[in-house]
Amino acid sequence: MERIRRKSAKQIFQADYGLYSGAFMDIAYDYFIANDPALFPDLQLDIFSRKVYETLDAHSSLFPPRFTQLFPSMKRHNWLYNYR
């Protein structure tokens, strides 16, 4: 059932974004999750974001080359928190 819902949601972006529709769907989901106060009150999202960056830093040797280049900007601009 979840697969059917994901496929339906992906089709919303398909016409405009083609192969990138899955990525746009993920961004939309992340936005709604980050902005749901029941899931992430303001302080909790900040704490969660910092813990994710710490965990990623600890495993940075496993990053693919493109993410190695992208991650410093992601962390500096706190992308996870700034979905708000």
Res 78 pLDDT > 80: yes
Domain layout of the chain by residue ranges: 1-34, 40-84
Structure pTM?
A: 0.70
Confidence at residue 2, expressed as pLDDT on a 0 to 100 scale: 65
Confidence at residue 79, expressed as pLDDT on a 0 to 100 scale: 92
pLDDT tens, position by position, 3-16: 667 777 778 888 88
Q: What are phi and psi of 38, to 5 degrees?
A: -70, -30
Residue 50's Cβ-side half-sphere holds a number of Cα atoms within 13 Å equal to: 5
Confidence at residue 60, expressed as pLDDT on a 0 to 100 scale: 96
pLDDT tens, position by position, 20-49: 888 888 888 888 988 998 988 878 999 999
